[in-house]
């Protein structure tokens, strides 16, 4: 079972488990970003995505239940000279702000089905009108590959799950398939993912 303590353990030490560079799919969305947008990176771990969003001039917040991860996120932000707000919270218990964010980055956050439903509903509520949700997560086709992702298949995402949990959002991009990951020691090689860009009306 995934716990905050297990993630604290993984994040202890100097290495960045998923690298210091942002997720490539998120970076490809740069043309959709405007300075001053309010951004939330959920399950942001060591902060690579929140820090990159801050570097693009966004007002960025990283939330994660690992205090160790977010300590490293703040250190990374300080090294890069950008402001980053951080919040240590369990996504299933957090009081998600209402209609607050113009962009939510949900990158490789895999939760058990009940928790996933709670967190996805929270993210939906937290999107401001016109707000974007950018997601990349592993799919069931990833089973057996060693390029990353949870061992428990119940935690995996799919295109159908994205459509179900985020019904009502406009689909700008929604693709399932193989990509090559090169993100720190934990995400290396060919991987099966779902990638989505969704917009609240």
Of 31-39, 107-115, 165-173, 174-182, the segment contacting ligand SAM by CB under 6 A is 107-115
b/e string for 16-33 if b means 16 or more Cβ within 10 A?
Answer: bbbbbebbebbeebeeeb
* Region of residue 194 (phi > 0: left; psi between -120 and 50: alpha; otherwise: beta): beta
Q: Are 114 and 154 in contact (CB under 8 A)?
A: no
Nearer Cβ to ligand SAM, position 130 or 189?
Answer: 189
Note whether 29 binds ligand SAM by CB under 6 A: no
User: Does residue 142 bind ligand SAM (CB under 6 A)?
Assistant: no
Write down the least CB distance from residue 129 to ligand SAM, Å: 25
91 binds ligand SAM (CB under 6 A): yes
Distance separating alpha carbons of residues 81 and 67, to the nearest angstrom: 21
Q: Is 15 in the site for ligand SAM (CB under 6 A)?
A: no
Q: Following DSSP, what letter does each residue of 35-46 receive, concatenated?
A: TT-EEEEET-TT
Restricted to residues 35-74, the positions that interact with ligand SAM (CB under 6 A) are 43-45, 48-49, 64-66, 69
Touching ligand SAM, residues 152-171 (CB under 6 A) = none
Distances (CA, A) of 11 to 26, 29, 99: 22, 27, 31
Residue 192 binding ligand SAM, by CB under 6 A: no
**Minimum distance from CB of 4 to ligand SAM (Å)?**
6
- Any contact of residue 108 with ligand SAM (CB under 6 A)? yes
Are 122 and 96 within 8 A, CB to CB?
yes
Between strands 59-64 and 101-107, the pairing is: unpaired
Per CB under 6 A, residues contacting ligand SAM are 2, 7, 18, 23, 43-45, 48-49, 64-66, 69, 90-92, 107-109, 111, 115
């Amino acid at each position: 079972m995934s716990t905050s303590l297990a993630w604290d353990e993984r994040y202890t030490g100097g290495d960045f488990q998923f690298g210091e560079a942002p997720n490539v799919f998120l970076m490809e969305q740069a043309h959709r970003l405007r300075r001053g947008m309010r951004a939330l990176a959920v399950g942001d771990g060591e902060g690579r995505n929140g820090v990159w969003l801050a570097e693009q001039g966004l007002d960025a917040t990283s939330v994660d239940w690992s205090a160790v991860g977010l300590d490293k996120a703040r250190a990374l932000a300080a090294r890069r000279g950008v402001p980053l707000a951080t919040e240590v919270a369990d996504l299933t218990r957090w009081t998600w702000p209402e209609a607050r964010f113009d962009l939510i980055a949900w990158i490789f956050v895999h939760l058990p089905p009940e928790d996933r439903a709670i967190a996805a509903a929270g993210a939906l509520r937290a999107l401001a009108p016109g707000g974007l949700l950018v997601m990349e997560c592993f799919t069931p086709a990833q089973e057996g590959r060693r390029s990353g992702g949870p061992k428990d298949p119940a935690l995996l995402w799919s295109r159908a799950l994205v459509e179900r949990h985020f019904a009502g959002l406009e689909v700008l991009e929604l693709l399932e398939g193989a990509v090559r990951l090169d993100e720190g020691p934990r995400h290396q090689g060919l991987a099966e993912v779902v990638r989505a860009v969704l917009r609240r009306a």
